[in-house]
Every structure is written in structure tokens, then in C-alpha cells.
A and B are shown apart, each in its own frame.
Chain A
Amino acid sequence: MSEQLLSVRDLRVRFTTEDGIVHAVDGVSFDLAAGEVLAIVGESGSGKSVTAQTIMGLTRSPNARIEGSVAYRGRELLTADDEELMRVRGEEIAMIFQDPMTSLNPVYKVGDQIGEAIQAHRHESDHKAREQTIELLAAVGIPDPSKRVDNYPHEYSGGMRQRAMIAMGLALEPTVLIADEPSTALDVTIQAQILRLLEQLNRDRDLAVIIITHDLGVVAEIADRVLVMYGGRIIESGSLEQIFYDPQHPYTWGLLGSLARPDRPRTMRLSQITGQPPSLLAPPAGCHFRPRCPHAFDRCTRVPPLETRVGENHADRCWLSVEQKKTLRVVKTGEIGLEAPAA
């Protein structure tokens, strides 16, 4: 087992808003090993982005209550002061965001924005920083980097902007890159380029990547390990193979079953998950998935499920026993659906 870089324990994040308290993250624990690609999957409002932002110290605000622990190589980040946090940010953990259009400043040249990140942390001369920036742009596959370094963001295409963001993230040679929906705003052919770039960085630089996405296709393409989040909790975690071929939680079944797959002929009907995701203002008592789960029983309404180990590195939160799940899970020619088998 390689070195554990990041360890998150029982993380809880609550925001006080006008409408009440939003329980955005509700007891999340996981580890990230060096050189690993960890995917966090979930729908909007599942708490995946807040988890990542809290690791980076971006959710610190007067209305936020953060409990638990986030440790980077044994250093606690939740209680770290601004100076310490700044050192970790960028130099150890970098983050890239979904929308490359809004995360670059439109009135500064791309090269200057990347150079600024370098100079904020290291006392390099302007000339040196510029050279490093050009190297970085070349490393992320921007054509003609010595010219492109002087372009403004609007002169870049969507894919190039995301590459520039990745270059900025890599500027201080971090060991962890958190990518929040890095390819969602991009077209399929450009998405493939960006995923390939992330894979290459993971391989060549031994960069650990946390990729946050709602797209199970992206997960299948790039991840080693997967966390499935629902309603602020991790409801299942396991290796890529375990999640896709031996899913334990009914929500994971539903998610896999509701996908329209491009490599399969048209099926009769998509198996759907009925209802809406829970409101985090007033999450349902017990299991958060219970109101939408066809297999729920009375225990699910009362007590939130504890983590059950299914196998090595594979855990889920569901009150059904492993045997029950085996009979309830519908598996038809590689497809897994949520609907109960016809009697």
C-alpha cells in the first residue's frame, strides 16, 4: 500500500441560511493514497463539491460550521491558520474547477495569471516565472505556448482554457489535484483530450487525483476507486470493479440502471429512480435514500445505516443484508436496475 496523503474523518459541514440549516456534508470519511485516482460521484446537491472545497479550506465562512478532521500527511487542515493553509494550497493540493470561463480572470493574460501563482509562492524573477509558465503550457498540450502565453482567456477555446487551468494547478508541483467536474462544460471530443491529459499527469508525475463528477462514463474511464455520495453521505465506496460489477447500495443500482448506454442497442425502457433527491434543509430521518428506495423497510426510516464492510476496501451504508441484496439486485446481461424483479 502506498503512502496515505489525505485522510478525511467524519467531516460535517453545515451552512446557516435564511431558510434554515443546510446539512451539506454529513459524516464523510475517506483516504487518498499517493498516485491514486479517486472519483467522487453524485448528483447535484449530494455534497461532493462541498467536501472538496472544505478540504481546500474554501468553505470557511461565518455561516459555516465545519466539524471532523482533514489531515494532509498528518497535518490538520481544518484548524490550520491562513498562512499554513496557503502553503498547502497550491504547493501540496491544487484544485481546478468546472467552468474554465469563469475561473480565469478575463482582463489578465493567461500567462500572467499562471506566473502570478508561481510568484506568490516562490520568489522567482519575472523572466523565470514566464519561462516556467511556457513550460507548463507546453506540458498540458497548448500548441505554440510561447505565443499563447500572451493571450487573454477569450482568445482560448473551452478546452484550452481548461488546459490552462490545469497548468495553473500544476505550477507549484502539488501531489494532489482536485478536479471538480473538469470536463462537464466541454464537448465529447475535448472531454476525451482533458481526461487523457489527467491520466497522463497521474502516470508521469505520480499525481494523486480526486475527480468529482456526475458522469459514470468519466468515472469508468479514469478512476481507480469510487465514492458514491447521496444526500451529503458516502453511501458506497469501493474499487472501480466493485462499484460497477458488484454494486451494493440500491442507489448505485439505480444510478447504473438509469443510464442510456451508447454501446447498447435501444432497450425498452430505462429503469428510473422515482422521486427527487432529498432537500438538505430537512433531510429525511434514517437513510437519506429511503423515500426513493423500493426496498426500504421500517428500520430504514428510524436509524441511519452504519457502514457495512462488504469486502476488502468495499463498504456501503444500507440496512439490507448482503444476501438480501443479492436476491433484490436485478442483473440482466450486464445491466443492473433498481426495479424489483417481476414476481
Chain B
Amino acid sequence: MSENSPGPSPAADSADGSANLLEVRNLVKHFPIKSGILVDRQVGAVRAVDDVSFDVARGETLGLVGESGCGKSTLCRTVLKLLEPTSGSVRFEGTEISHMGRRGLQPLRREMQMIFQDPFASLNPRRRVGQIVGGPLKLHGIASGSTLKRQVQDLLERVGLNPEHYNRFPHEFSGGQRQRIGIARALALRPKLIVADEPVSALDVSIQAQIINLLEDLQDEFKLTYIFVAHDLGVIRHVSDRIAVMYLGKIVELGPADEVYSNPIHPYTLSLLSALPIPDPRANAEREPIVLEGDVPSPADPPAACRFHTRCPYATEICSEVEPELVLHDREHWAACHHPLNRGDPHAAQEALAKPDRDSA
């Protein structure tokens, strides 16, 4: 079913597609821009997610990177049906969910949960921790009364919180502890898929490592599949098996984590990696970063054809005329670019990172 779709390599049991937990095809989410006082006229659309396809295999972590406004959060929310897709298909364990109604979705909601970025805004300040974490269990009629309390306390303990804090309010916890509460809540229904939208970016460095380690332990223990969104490329590399790089609503590169980092194909990926300061002065001094000029264009009016051509150091005429397709370059390594980098020579990427073949002013 996925002969021309970017997904993981055909695993042994992929004949019936069951290796993939999630299959997203040509997903589009546009937000209308309206104008007029009495009559709503649509004058345009913010193309937040524009024709995105990917698969997520069972038990893997797919990292999603991109700058703000590239549509990574919208993509997550659309995949989970928290937003209604404009068009396209989302299949979860083979079931098409993109056009399912609220009622039909309810049993599936147990299988997919979300962890949010801001541990201060994502917990109701007027509810106790026990109610927050136990909420999903109660809603789905899984537990009540003393079983509920016991289950919630088990969950709290599992994420590294004191189970005796069952009756406390969120404001009594620090940022890292609140994020643990959010994780316990996501874990309560034993989901198969957890979408983590910037779960560590609001936390201090020393706490980030704690939460990342916790998420990895939980993945092993409960056989979880993660879609992990972050703008921090260091964190993404550490947690991900595969990485999708987004730019202005499109996936521009998708591949195994180490491949994408050591052998980027798309110039945008290369410039992201090169712009990132490495916490190692010697390694930093050795490279000459490519600093992109200008800002990310508005998704309401994205550049024609290749959306990156306005900032791309390698852009030529064709880039502003023909939109590049996401094509398979290497084993499992996809990219959408007319001028793919580093094809053939595995060390070219590092060299390109060290000294880009352009006049670096």
C-alpha cells in the first residue's frame, strides 16, 4: 500500500501494513483568512500543513523539527484529529480516522495521547493532581473509587512523583514535576501513540535530561510509539529513530536520524544544522556556519514552487518554477529538493558543514 510513500523500510510483516501504527497521506490543513463584517468572505488561507505524507512504525520515535510557524504543531493536532483536516487521509492501525465523527473516535482516543509544551498552561490549576491524572480513566469508564486512586498513585510513582501528592494542586509543583504530571495523564489509558509537542523546551537544562530519560524508559516499558516535536536539534537527535524536517507546511526531508544529521540532503536541513551552536568551543570553531539570510516567509503567502528557494544558497531557476517532490534518495532517506546535497560521497556533508562552497562573508 505504500509503494511510493515515505515510510520506514518494508519490514517483514508489512505486507498488510501492520508494521505501521500510523499512516498519513497527503494531509492538508488550511486555516481560512476571513474578511468582511456582515458577510464572511474568505480572502485567503494560511497553509499550515500542505500535502504531508509519512508513516510511523510501531515502537519507533519520529522526530519532527522545524522553525516556528512551519506547521509542526498543527500537523500533530490534525493527525490526532484535534483539528479537522482540510483533506487527506490519516490511518491509525489501518482505520481511516480523518473523517470520523466524535463518537466513532472515542474508543480510538484511548490509543493516542498528547503531552503539551507548557506545563503551566496544560494543567487545570483548580483541579487536584489526582483528578487531573485520573480524569482520562474516569471518562473512559476504566476505573473508579479506590481502584482509580490506586491506579493514579501507581502512575504518579512511575513518572517519579510522590504518590502521596495525590491531593495537591499543580501550583505546588515545579515545572519539571508538572511535566511529569502531564506525562502521567497521557500514560493513564496505556496508549499506543503519544504525541509530545515540545515536551522539554520550557524546562531548564538539568531538568530536560530527566524528562527525556523518563520518556525513553516509558517507551521501553510500555512499548510506546512517539511523535516527538521539538525545535532543539540536539534533543531531537537524541530521542529520534527517524526525523522529519518541516519548512512552511511541507516535509522537506525525512530519514533515519543519524543519516539526516551526518548526511543531510536538503539545503534547509544543512543550514539548520549549521546554524545550531554546538556546546563545544573547539568543534564550533572548526566549522564555518551557513547563516541564512532573511526570515521564514508567511505561510499565508508561501513562495511558489520550492518554498525554500527564497533563502536557499543553492537555488537556481528551476527552484522557483517547479515544485520538488519528496523522492527517495537513499535507503529510507527522502528529500524534496532539485539540488540534493551529498549524494554519493558520505563525507561530503561534514566537509560542506566545515566549509560551505560559497563566499562566506
A residues neighboring B (CB under 8 Å): 43-44, 143, 157-160, 187-193, 195-196, 214-221, 240-241, 244-245, 254-256, 258-267, 269-274, 276-277, 334
* The residue from A44, A214, A220, A266 contacting B277, defined by CB atoms under 8 A apart: A220
CB atoms of B212 and A260 under 8 A apart: yes
Main secondary structure of the interface of B (DSSP, over half): helix
Instruction: Name the residue of chain A whose CB is nearest to the CB of B68.
Output: A187
Q: A196 — which chain B residues lie within 8 A by C-beta?
A: 291
Chain A nearest CB, measured from B18 CB (Å): 26
Since A245-B282, A260-B239, A272-B213 are in contact, a sample of 19 more A-B pairs with Cβ atoms closer than 8 Å, ordered by chain A residue number, is A187-B67, A187-B68, A189-B291, A193-B291, A196-B291, A217-B278, A217-B279, A220-B280, A241-B281, A244-B281, A258-B206, A259-B209, A260-B235, A260-B238, A262-B234, A263-B261, A263-B278, A270-B209, A277-B204
The docked-state distance in angstroms from the alpha carbon of A216 to that of B281 is 10
Q: Is B26 an interface residue (CB 8 A)?
A: no
CB atoms of B258 and A190 under 8 A apart: no
Given A259-B234, A260-B234, A240 and B281 contact (CB-CB distance below 8 Å): yes
Instruction: Name, among B213, B257, B276, B280, the residue most crowded by chain A CB atoms within 10 Å (CB to CB).
Output: B280
Q: A272 — which chain B residues lie within 8 A by C-beta?
A: 206, 209-210, 213
The docked-state distance in angstroms from the alpha carbon of A48 to that of B120 is 23
CB atoms of B67 and A259 under 8 A apart: no
Give B210-236 as 1s and 0s: 1 = Cβ < 8 Å from A's Cβ atoms: 101100100000000000000111111
The docked-state distance in angstroms from the alpha carbon of A227 to that of B322 is 51
Chain A nearest CB, measured from B298 CB (Å): 10
B residues 268-302 with Cβ under 8 Å of A? 271-273, 275-284, 289, 291-296
Given A188-B272, A195-B277, A217-B279, A262 and B213 contact (CB-CB distance below 8 Å): no
CB atoms of B231 and A262 under 8 A apart: no
Chain B nearest CB, measured from A337 CB (Å): 10
The docked-state distance in angstroms from the alpha carbon of A188 to that of B247 is 13
Chain B nearest CB, measured from A288 CB (Å): 13
CB atoms of A190 and B295 under 8 A apart: yes
The docked-state distance in angstroms from the alpha carbon of A254 to that of B205 is 10
Q: B257 — which chain A residues lie within 8 A by C-beta?
A: 266
B residues neighboring A (CB under 8 Å): 67-68, 174, 176-177, 204-210, 212-213, 216, 231-239, 257-258, 261, 271-273, 275-284, 289, 291-296
Given A255-B205, A260-B234, A276-B174, A221 and B284 contact (CB-CB distance below 8 Å): yes
Instruction: Name the residue of chain A whose CB is nearest to the CB of B294.
Output: A143
The docked-state distance in angstroms from the alpha carbon of A93 to that of B326 is 51
Q: A160 — which chain B residues lie within 8 A by C-beta?
A: 295
Chain B nearest CB, measured from A158 CB (Å): 8
Given A187-B68, A189-B67, A192-B289, A254 and B284 contact (CB-CB distance below 8 Å): no
The docked-state distance in angstroms from the alpha carbon of A189 to that of B258 is 21
Q: B212 — which chain A residues lie within 8 A by C-beta?
A: 260, 270
Chain A nearest CB, measured from B286 CB (Å): 10
* The residue from B258, B280, B293 contacting A265, defined by CB atoms under 8 A apart: B258
Q: A158 — which chain B residues lie within 8 A by C-beta?
A: 295
The docked-state distance in angstroms from the alpha carbon of A53 to that of B292 is 32
Q: B283 — which chain A residues lie within 8 A by C-beta?
A: 263
Instruction: Name, among A255, A272, A274, the residue most crowded by chain B CB atoms within 10 Å (CB to CB).
Output: A272
The docked-state distance in angstroms from the alpha carbon of A196 to that of B290 is 11
* The residue from A192, A244, A258, A259 contacting B291, defined by CB atoms under 8 A apart: A192
* The residue from A220, A254, A263, A269 contacting B206, defined by CB atoms under 8 A apart: A254
The docked-state distance in angstroms from the alpha carbon of A203 to that of B225 is 48
Instruction: Name the residue of chain B whose CB is nearest to the CB of A263.
Output: B278
CB atoms of B276 and A188 under 8 A apart: yes
CB atoms of B279 and A261 under 8 A apart: yes
Closest 7 CB pairs of A and B: A217-B277, A260-B238, A258-B209, A192-B275, A216-B279, A187-B67, A221-B277
Chain A nearest CB, measured from B335 CB (Å): 18
Q: B176 — which chain A residues lie within 8 A by C-beta?
A: 276
Chain A nearest CB, measured from B331 CB (Å): 17
Instruction: Name the residue of chain A whose CB is nearest to the CB of B295.
Output: A157
CB atoms of A263 and B280 under 8 A apart: yes
Chain B nearest CB, measured from A245 CB (Å): 8
Q: A143 — which chain B residues lie within 8 A by C-beta?
A: 294
The docked-state distance in angstroms from the alpha carbon of A196 to that of B204 is 25
CB atoms of A261 and B277 under 8 A apart: no
CB atoms of A188 and B281 under 8 A apart: no
Chain A nearest CB, measured from B13 CB (Å): 25
**Sampled A-B contacts (22; CB under 8 Å):** A188-B275, A189-B292, A190-B295, A192-B275, A192-B276, A196-B291, A214-B205, A217-B278, A218-B277, A220-B277, A258-B208, A258-B209, A259-B234, A260-B239, A262-B234, A263-B278, A266-B239, A271-B209, A272-B209, A272-B210, A272-B213, A273-B206
The docked-state distance in angstroms from the alpha carbon of A258 to that of B176 is 15
The docked-state distance in angstroms from the alpha carbon of A305 to that of B261 is 42
Instruction: Name, among B68, B210, B237, B277, the residue most crowded by chain A CB atoms within 10 Å (CB to CB).
Output: B277
Instruction: Name the residue of chain B whose CB is nearest to the CB of A270.
Output: B209
Chain B nearest CB, measured from A32 CB (Å): 20
Given A43-B204, A220-B278, A244-B280, A189 and B238 contact (CB-CB distance below 8 Å): no
CB atoms of A261 and B67 under 8 A apart: no
Instruction: Name the residue of chain A whose CB is nearest to the CB of B280.
Output: A220
Q: B294 — which chain A residues lie within 8 A by C-beta?
A: 143
* The residue from B177, B216, B234, B271 contacting A189, defined by CB atoms under 8 A apart: B271
Chain B nearest CB, measured from A180 CB (Å): 16
CB atoms of A220 and B295 under 8 A apart: no
The docked-state distance in angstroms from the alpha carbon of A219 to that of B277 is 8
The docked-state distance in angstroms from the alpha carbon of A84 to that of B287 is 45
Instruction: Name the residue of chain B whose CB is nearest to the CB of A223.
Output: B281
The docked-state distance in angstroms from the alpha carbon of A88 to that of B275 is 35
CB atoms of A187 and B296 under 8 A apart: yes
CB atoms of B275 and A277 under 8 A apart: no
CB atoms of A274 and B210 under 8 A apart: yes
The docked-state distance in angstroms from the alpha carbon of A99 to that of B245 is 26
Q: A192 — which chain B residues lie within 8 A by C-beta?
A: 275-277, 289, 291-292
The docked-state distance in angstroms from the alpha carbon of A157 to that of B298 is 10
Given A266-B238, A270-B212, A255 and B280 contact (CB-CB distance below 8 Å): no
Given A188-B67, A196-B291, A274-B210, A258 and B275 contact (CB-CB distance below 8 Å): no
